[in-house]
Amino acid sequence: MKLNHVFKSVTSTLDSISQGEENFEYRDIYNYLLIVASTFGCNFSRALDLLNNSEPALQDSALHKQLKADVLYCLHDEDAALEMYVEVAGIKPNDAYLFLQMARILIGREKYETKRKFVNARKLLNHSLALAPEEYHAKKLLEELQHFESCGYVHEASQTAATDFPLFLYPKTLFIFLTTRCNIRCRICARDNHSGIDLDFPNIYKLEKAIRYAEIIDLTGWGECFIYSKIKDVLHYIYSIKSDRCMQITTNGTLLSAEFGGLLAGRIHRLTISLNAATAETYNRDMKYSNFSSTIDNIKAFIENVDELDRKNITLHFVAHTGNFREISEFVSLAKELGIPTISIGNFLSASIQDSEMTLLHVKNEYNEIITISEKIAVEAGINFSARKFGYETIKPVQDCKDPFDSCFILPDGEVGGPCCFSGTYSLGNVYESCFEDVWFSEKYERLRRTRHLEACRHCVPFTPFDDVECHFSGEIKKTDEFSNYKQLVKHSP
Ligand SMILES: C[S@@+](CC[C@H](N)C(=O)[O-])C[C@H]1O[C@@H](n2cnc3c(N)ncnc32)[C@H](O)[C@@H]1O
Ligand code: SF4
Ligand code: SF4
């Protein structure tokens, strides 16, 4: 990670030289290339020497100072690094705002990783507040730091693996399952009881680096994440590491509220609400223990409390089967009424031969017609609409699947149960029993990246044409003899 800081810093310096923003000579560029080389060899002392012996004009440049601060940081000379960062930020002894910025830089780098850095950030914030007692952001940040300290989020030392793997090799999307329990029972869902397992909250600290380096954190899991009693703590912990719009959640929407809207405001990368019905009648029939009007009220209260950009990132989801697909065009109107800009239509994946009657394979033509009509209504309503159709798709090579590189699915007990939600049960290792890096960078994972050898990869839903029977059944059932027999039967039926 430290290597990444320096590498980024050196490359941005070289970029600005090549774009002519900094008027450096050839030898300066050569000098920087040497620094890059030293950095790659983790020879930070050599990099520091080179920086100290650079041309005086170069040493005055902000980029050079920034780089030096990063190199000092890699050499664990944090005090000197901090001094240098202060110099880069141009902090004057009476500038409260800049002290705040400085604390932010420090927090952004190694947020809460060690007590020492935490103490430094707090010192800077107190300094800022001493100069400007009413500074809102400094007060808020300080409160946040105190909150994390009292919750025990601040560790004496990092609990994660010491090995430095490059940032870009970590997963882009990290799926952290909070629970496999659910508060309702959907007709489409394979679960048949309310039991399940929850994440043991302190285990989340073990994912610190993976969270920091991911672009998107998904909390969905196989259950309903909003019933997890520590979901607010999970959000606070993630926010303590990441400051961007990184949250992704798929929810049944029943527990959305004004309070959760406030908690997720400014943070939603994507929120998908699975309603699977457009009318109270169908919803109340298919979503046992839930109620259409109260779910709609809760969604409205949630939406009112998020910001404009969050709202643009909300999707209403509909899993279509033989018993509900005729409501798809009404679903477009419902999205319009709720002010939700996007609809996705998924197809019901059957987990058993008994439920195969519900798959869209039985209503191909009528389903296609309804999708065509709904697409038109969506265009008129200004709603983004996506759905697969029969008769249009060809096979896509499964090697195009980027999931083993981009996504990591961590079950509540730490098992990495496969690279995606189509792979069924498979164990790639346990990140809570060992550590994230041991599993993600393991030989087993590497093999999957090279070969896509799982049974599920051979008939994977997104890579199988919609007309293919395999595209309408979930991963586990496809491994069984019962399913092979069923396929033969379908193949030979008129
Ligand atoms: C397993 S759920 C978990 C999240 C949350 N409880 C929910 O329902 O949105 C994740 C997604 O899978 C969808 N889903 C559940 N059962 C399905 C099935 N048999 N076929 C296709 N999609 C299904 C849900 O509608 C939801 O969009
Ligand atoms: S809400 Fe989600 S997890 Fe719960 S029963 Fe429905 S599909 Fe399954
Ligand atoms: S099952 Fe499908 S999505 Fe999952 S890794 Fe294999 S090919 Fe990719």
Give the position of tokens 């009528």.
Answer: 366
pLDDT for residue 68: 80
Provide the pLDDT confidence category of residue 154 given band limits of 50, 70 and 90: very low
**Pocket of ligand 2 contains residue 185 by CB under 6 Å:** yes
- What's the CA gap between 362 and 286, in Å, rounded? 19
Identify whether the C-beta of residue 298 lies closer than 8 Å to the C-beta of residue 256.
Answer: yes
Least confidently predicted of 110-124, 184-198, 199-213, 299-313:
110-124
| β-sheet bridge partners, residue 174 | 217, 408
**Pocket of ligand 2 contains residue 67 by CB under 6 Å:** no
- What's the CA gap between 341 and 308, in Å, rounded? 11
Q: Quick one: average pLDDT of 450-455? A: 80
**Pocket of ligand 1 contains residue 421 by CB under 6 Å:** no
Tally of residues, the chain: 494
Q: Quick one: average pLDDT of 329-340? A: 97
Better pLDDT: 298 or 161: 298
pLDDT for residue 242: 85
Give the CA-trace dihedral at 447, 449, 455, 457, to 10 degrees.
-170
* Exposure class string for 273-302: b at 16+ Cβ within 10 A, else e: bbbbbbeeebbeebbeebebeebbebbeeb
Better pLDDT: 481 or 118: 481
Least confidently predicted of 6-20, 225-239, 386-400, 436-450:
6-20
- What's the CA gap between 368 and 362, in Å, rounded? 12
Identify whether the C-beta of residue 449 lies closer than 8 Å to the C-beta of residue 420.
Answer: no
Query: What three-state secondary structure class fits 428?
Result: coil
pLDDT in tens, 225-237: 999 999 999 999 9
* Exposure class string for 434-444: b at 16+ Cβ within 10 A, else e: ebbbebbeeee
Reply yes or no on whether the pLDDT at 1 is more than 50: no
| β-sheet bridge partners, residue 410 | 176, 416
Reply yes or no on whether the pLDDT at 294 is more than 90: yes
pLDDT for residue 86: 67
Q: Kindly report the average pLDDT of the chain as a whole number.
A: 82
Indicate which ligand has the atom closest to the C-alpha of 458.
3
Radius of gyration of the chain (CA): 26
Q: Which H/E stretch holds residue 185?
A: strand 185-186
Better pLDDT: 377 or 105: 377
User: What φ, ψ does residue 289 adopt, rounded to 5°?
Assistant: 75, 10
pLDDT for residue 162: 35
**Residue 416 DSSP label:** B
**Pocket of ligand 2 contains residue 223 by CB under 6 Å:** yes
Taking Cα atoms as reference points, which of 237, 222, 231, 220 lies closest to residue 260? Answer: 231
Task: Look at strands 268-274 and 384-386 and give their pairing.
Answer: unpaired
Other Cβ atoms within 10 Å of 482 Cβ, number: 11
Q: Quick one: average pLDDT of 432-440? A: 89
Reply yes or no on whether the pLDDT at 196 is more than 70: yes
Q: Which of 77-91, 332-346, 439-453 has the highest mean pLDDT?
A: 332-346
pLDDT in tens, 22-46: 555 555 565 666 666 555 556 677 7
* Exposure class string for 107-131: b at 16+ Cβ within 10 A, else e: bebbbbbeeebbebbbebbebbbeb
Indicate which ligand has the atom closest to the C-alpha of 254.
2
- State how far the alpha carbon of 401 is from the alpha carbons of 218, 392, 475, 479, in Å: 19, 20, 16, 20
Distance 437 CA to ligand 1 centre (A): 29
pLDDT for residue 36: 63
- What's the CA gap between 362 and 340, in Å, rounded? 30
Atom of ligand 2 nearest to the CA of 287: 6
pLDDT in tens, 412-425: 999 998 778 877 77
pLDDT in tens, 343-381: 999 999 999 999 999 999 999 999 999 999 999 999 999
- What's the CA gap between 202 and 210, in Å, rounded? 15
Better pLDDT: 150 or 132: 132
Task: Look at strands 314-320 and 268-274 and give their pairing.
Answer: parallel
Q: Indicate which residue's Cα is closest to atom 3 of ligand 2.
A: 223
Reply yes or no on whether the pLDDT at 61 is more than 70: yes
Distance 404 CA to ligand 3 centre (A): 8
